[in-house]
Amino acid sequence: MALTAQINAAKASMNIKVKRTGRVRPPNLPDAQLKAIGDKMVAEQKARWARHQDASGQEAAKLSVKYAIIKQAVLHKRPYRDMSMTGRTVKNFQLRKASDGKIRAENTTRLERAKALRANKYDQMIGFANTDAKVVFDASQAEFGQWVNRAWIPLDGTNRRPSTLNMVP
């Protein structure tokens, strides 16, 4: 009985009528749009450090007792793991590359990059948290929204864009 049903289903036919055809051009955002996304990514990561959160979005690990005493003596405030003792590591963390479809942010000088990597071994602070990803996705959606109207390439010769496809010609 089950075998018969499969055979009958294979004999069934379906007609599909397509009124408009086209293709979508792959995304190729200009460097200015990638830079806008990257700047928002860096700003959100610095804001997360100021909230004392690590790369997983959780409260950052406590400092060692020795380092906490040193940091409190230098800064005269309660010590937290926030990637900042002198402020140079945080100020030096910036967008390095936003071109060719890639966005990269890191410290620019060798000394600050080495300090950041060393600090990252204690508790991973550099990286994407869920809150960072949401900000980047929202920024990407805003930038891609401008791109979508240019992405549709109609093949029927009408040269109509997606914003007008729901209208009857």
In tens, the pLDDT along 81-126 reads 888 888 888 999 999 998 887 888 899 999 999 998 988 888 888 8
Cα dist. 168→20, 147, 160, 164 in Å? 11, 24, 11, 9
Q: What pLDDT is recorded for position 10?
A: 55
Our measurement of the distance from residue 44's CA atom to the centroid of its chain's CA atoms, rounded to an integer in Å, reads: 10
Does position 152 have pLDDT exceeding 70, yes or no? no
Q: Which residue has the higher pLDDT, 3 or 21?
A: 21
Q: What angle do CA 145, 105, 40 make, to 5 degrees?
A: 40
Q: Which segment of 73-87, 90-104, 129-143 scores lowest on mean pLDDT?
A: 129-143
Q: Which residue has the higher pLDDT, 25 or 96?
A: 96
Q: Which residue has the higher pLDDT, 71 or 134?
A: 71
- What does the pLDDT average to over 45-53? 91
**CA torsion through residues 121, 125, 128, 131, sign:** positive
**Count of residues in the chain:** 169
Alpha-carbon span 3 to 33, nearest angstrom: 56
Alpha-carbon span 25 to 42, nearest angstrom: 29
Q: Which residue has the higher pLDDT, 42 or 28?
A: 42
